[in-house]
Structures are given as structure tokens and as C-alpha cells.
Chain A
Amino acid sequence: MAVYLDCNATTPVEPSVAALAARFLEKDFGNPASPIHDHGLFARAAVEHARAQVAQVVAARPDEVIFTSGATEANNLALLGLAEAARREGRCHVITTAVEHKAVLEPCEELQRLGFELTVLPVAADGRFDPKQLAAALRPDTALVSTMQVNNETGVSQPLAETAEILSGHGAWWHVDAAQGFGKELAPLQNPRIDLIAVSGHKIHGPKGIGALVARKRDGFLPPLRPLMFGGGQEQGLRPGTLPTPLIAGFGEAAKLALRDHEQRREACRTFRAEVLRVFADLGARRNGDERHTLPHVLNVSLPGIPSDRAIHALKGTIALSSTSACTSHTRTPSHVLAAMGIPPELAECSLRLSWCHLTPAVDWNRVTEILRRLRP
């Protein structure tokens, strides 16, 4: 079996996460919304325990965590859920960046359809937006600013600390899509200026199908979100539906481990990275994204002359990798992220994304090098 190097798409589940999820599937199957007997009470206790574990990663309060099916739903709830309040206040301007995931760009397009004006900030060749351009784009009627923490294709971390400073004197709600950075880069998300944070369980060795929107309170009140679905009062009325206790307990455990083992995991990823960088430098690869701002578990490179799909196919027995985000890798659509960074199409078509984690086993890099050299025109 090929070594899995696609951890930005999804991560292997930690054994203790799987064990806990199994416990709540097989044995402790109560409904947390039925605390009228011990089965329900135990499920509710497990959900509240997980809520606190997730909150702790971003220095939030447990009552600021709203469980969702994943980061996509959390992004949608944050962006579309604020539309009514924004319109009521006469604020109809939204700012985002050109390198956001589709789970942000498409809700923003929906806001446009609803009558909001959208400003999309460009990024530089390093993969980052310029906070000065954000400052220039801000208007008195800006309702919402949506910026990602870490890019899913390049692993480049965005300037959140500078953004917080710019937004400190402005009333716009600030949403951060943290699907790729939650639990991997801690300090930026702990900034109290961030109003809304979308996070995902399966990117941090938790189960798929679970995530959360962290909605920080301002002056004791949650942002004025409206639910996108109706039919129950769960999650403070913002996300109806029976809570999936096995997934939530597993997500909580994954969040706990991400916090507890943060430094060891980063160190393991850095060690692995040194080897990957050496191999691709020897192959004459061109880096996509600024190394100084790239998280240690991701590398995006272009190998001129070797189309991505040929490389991925040739390497499939040795390493499993991708060329773009998991949500668009099955299509032939060119990467909007690399295009926004000014990377010419002929290089974007030769891009490879490698992403690993502390559980990644050793790779036969000699074999990888040999295969890629043979593909050279």
C-alpha cells in the first residue's frame, strides 16, 4: 500500500478517537436530548465534555461551540446566518479573499445573489493577502470579513494577527475558516477579535461528519446568527437535529490530543518536511507558497514538464498525494488558488500537494525520485 501523503484531504483517525466513537455507537447509545434517564444523561455529559475540549483549543467558552456536520456547514452557517442581521443594520458589504475554499466562496456568491456587495482581496505570489488591502477595502457598511487561517492547497498561513489589529476599531463580524489550521497552529485562533471560527473533526484525526462553528460572544451575546435549518432547539437553536454523540465524543478526543501533543506533532512534521524539501529541491521543483509562512506538514510544488495527473498516477504504488483540494481534485478545473498567486497555467498543471502528519510512516524517497525522473520530457 502506498504511503498516505494527503493529510490535507483527511487524516487517519487516532486509535483512542476510534475507540471512544465505538463506545458511543455500541454501548452508550443514548440521545443527549433525552436527559430523562441515565442513557441520555451520559450522552449529554459526553457532548458537553467534548464541547469544552473543542473550545479549549481556541480559548473560547464551551457555550460558544455549535456542533455542525463539518467546516463546510459551519462556514455556511457563519456567512449566510448573519445575512438577515446585516441587512437589518443596513450593512451590505462583505470582504473575502481569492484563495478561500469553495465552502466560503460559494456562500459569498450566494450573499451576492441576495444583494450584498462582495470584495475579493487578491493574494501575492507568497499566497497571502495583504492586510493593507483589507484596511483599504473596509467600509462603514462592511458587515462581514471572511479570511481563512491556513490555505488548503499551499499550507500558507494568512496574516490573522495583522487582520485583528485592522479590525479592532471596526464593527464588522470576522469569520475565519480554520478547517486546515485548527489544532495545528494554535495562537492565531485564540485571538479574541475573531467572532466566528469554522473547524472540522476529520482534519485533526477525528471522525468525518463532525465539525463546529465557534461563535465568540461580544458583550455577553453570540453574533446574531439565524439557523439555516429548522426542526429542533439543539445547539442553542442554531443547528437542529439529533446530536451524533459518537462523532462529537471522537471530535472532543481529537481536539484534546491536538492540544496536548501539539509540539511533538509539529516536530515530527518538521523532521519529515526536511526530507521532502531535500528530495524535491534535487528534482528542481518550484515551490508554490512562501516557506516562511507554510505549516510544517504541507508542501505544494510544481515539477515543470510533468503534468500532475501523470505524476500522481505513476506514484500511486509508492505515495498517495494530490494536486489540489480534495473537493475539486476529481475535476479538471485548474486551481483557483495557484491562479490567484499568479502561477502560470503550465506550472499550475504540474503542481503536487504533499501533506503528512505525525502518524506518517517512512517513504521510499529514492523510489519516488526514480519514478519522477523517468517522467521528465
Chain B
Amino acid sequence: MNALFQDLETATLEQFNERELPQWLADPLLEVARNPEKYGDREYLVEMLLAQVREYDVYADTGCCKWAYDHEDLKRTLGWLKEGE
């Protein structure tokens, strides 16, 4: 379980520091990653979030086909995760 949250933190920091993940998304993502006791009962959504962060692409929706995740996807998944609070 904790490995999942550690992976989310690592992926978020990598996307924020080395790519184009904006701070307004990185902050709530890190809040999830650093609180496994709070979100541990929503493992499926955290897994989904991790996959989306890893495949995040700021230009995901600009081509003919959308095969990456953009800020709207991440914002939406974060919303579903927080619904359980």
C-alpha cells in the first residue's frame, strides 16, 4: 500500500520538476501521496491517479487521438478521490 503512495509522490515530483505538470495540480497530488492513512481505503482511485500522472501530457488533447492524460483528467480523478472524504 505505502509503495503505491510513494510511487505517486515520485511520479508527481518527476512530472513537476522535469516536465510540465502545473503546481496547482502537483500540490493536491502530493497531498494525496503523503497521506496514505487518509486515502488508503481508495486504493483503486490512487492507482488510477498514478497511471494518469505517469502518462500526463499537457498536449494530450491536441492531436487527432487522445492517448495520454491532461490536466482535466487529473483534476477529475482527484475530484472522485476527494468525494470519499
A residues bordering B, Cβ < 8 Å?
20, 23, 41-42, 45-46, 49, 52-53, 61-63, 256
Which listed residue (B51, B67, B80) contacts A42, Cβ 8 A?
A: B80
Would you mind naming 18 contact pairs between A and B with Cβ atoms under 8 Å apart? A20-B44, A23-B44, A41-B76, A42-B80, A45-B48, A45-B73, A45-B76, A46-B48, A49-B47, A49-B48, A49-B51, A52-B51, A53-B51, A61-B67, A62-B67, A63-B65, A63-B67, A256-B47
Say if the beta carbon of B77 comes within 8 Å of chain A. Answer: yes
How far is B65's CA from A249's CA once the two chains are assembled, in angstroms?
22
Contacts beyond the supplied A49-B48, A53-B51: 7 A-B pairs with Cβ under 8 Å? A42-B80, A45-B48, A45-B73, A45-B77, A52-B51, A52-B55, A256-B47
How distant is A13 from chain B, measured CB to nearest CB, in Å?
Answer: 16
Q: Give the complex CA separation of A351 and B76 in angstroms.
A: 55
Expressed in whole angstroms, the Cα–Cα distance for A49 and B54 within the complex equals 12
Residues of B within 8 A of A63 (CB): 65, 67
Name the distance in Å between B13's Cβ and chain A's nearest Cβ.
21
Q: How far is the CB of B40 from chain A (nearest CB, A)?
A: 14
C-alpha gap A256/B50 in the complex (Å) = 13
Would you list the 7 A-B pairs with minimal beta carbon distance, nearest first? A49-B48, A63-B67, A52-B51, A49-B51, A42-B80, A41-B76, A62-B67
Closest CB of chain A to B14's CB: distance in Å? Answer: 18
Contacting residues, chain B, for A42 (C-beta < 8 A): 80
- CA of A46 to CA of B48, assembled, Å: 8
Whole-angstrom distance from the CB of B43 to the nearest CB of chain A? 9
Q: Which partner residue on chain A sits nearest B72 by CB separation?
A: A41
Specify which chain A residues have a CB less than 8 angstroms from the CB of B65 in the assembled complex. Answer: 63
A61 to B44, CA, bound (A): 21
CA distance A42 to B80 in the complex (A): 8
- Contact partners of B48 in chain A: CB under 8 A: 45-46, 49
Q: Please give the distance in Å from A48's CB to the nearest CB on chain B.
A: 9
Q: Which residues of A contact B51 (CB under 8 A)?
A: 49, 52-53
Instruction: Return B1 CB to nearest CB of chain A, in Å.
Output: 12
Q: How far is the CA of A52 from the CA of B47 in the complex (A)?
A: 12
Q: Name the B residues within 8 Å of A52 (CB-CB).
A: 51, 55
Q: How far is the CB of A41 from chain B (nearest CB, A)?
A: 6
Closest residue of chain A to B44 (Cβ to Cβ) is A20
Question: Closest CB of chain B to A20's CB: distance in Å?
Answer: 6
Q: How far is the CB of A127 from chain B (nearest CB, A)?
A: 38
Interface residues in B54-85 (C-beta closer than 8 Å to A): 55, 65, 67, 73, 76-77, 80
Instruction: For residue A364, give the distance in angstroms from its CB to the closest CB of chain B.
Output: 36
Distance between Cα atoms of A45 and B77 in the complex (Å): 8
The CA of A49 and the CA of B43, in the complex, are separated in Å by 13
Among B48, B73, B76, B77, max chain A CB count under 10 A is at B48
The answer for the CA separation of A52 and B48 in the assembled complex, in Å, is 10
Query: Closest approach, in angstroms, between the C-beta of A47 and any C-beta of chain B?
Result: 11
Residue of B nearest to A56 (CB): B51
B29 CB to nearest chain A CB (Å): 16
- In Å, the complex CA distance between A42 and B73 comes to 10
Interface flags, B32-57, vs A, CB<8A=1, else 0: 00000000000010011001000100
Residues of B within 8 A of A53 (CB): 51
List of B residues within 8 angstroms of A256 by Cβ: 47
Q: Determine the chain A residues whose CB is within 8 A of the CB of B55 once the complex forms.
A: 52
Q: How far is the CA of A41 from the CA of B80 in the complex (A)?
A: 11
Distance, CA A61 to CA B67, complexed state (A)? 9
Contacts of B76 in A (CB 8 A): 41, 45
Shortest distance in angstroms between B50's beta carbon and chain A's nearest beta carbon? 10
How far, in angstroms, from A63 to B67 measured CA to CA in the complex?
7
List B contacts of A41 (CB < 8 A): 76
Cα separation A302 to B75 with both chains bound (whole Å):
59
Minimum Cβ distance to chain A for residue B55 (Å): 7
Q: Could you tell me the distance between the alpha carbons of A53 and B50 in the complex, rounded to whole angstroms? A: 12
* In the complex, chain A residues whose CB is within 8 Å of the CB of B47: 49, 256
Tell me the bound Cα distance from A46 to B65 in angstroms. Answer: 18
Bound-state Cα–Cα, A45 to B67, Å? 12
Q: Which residue of B lies closest to A42 (CB)?
A: B80
State A61–B65 Cα separation when bound (angstroms): 13
Instruction: Report which residue of A49, A53, A63 has the largest number of chain B beta carbons within 10 angstroms of its beta carbon.
Output: A49
- Provide the bound-state CA to CA distance between A42 and B76, in Å: 9
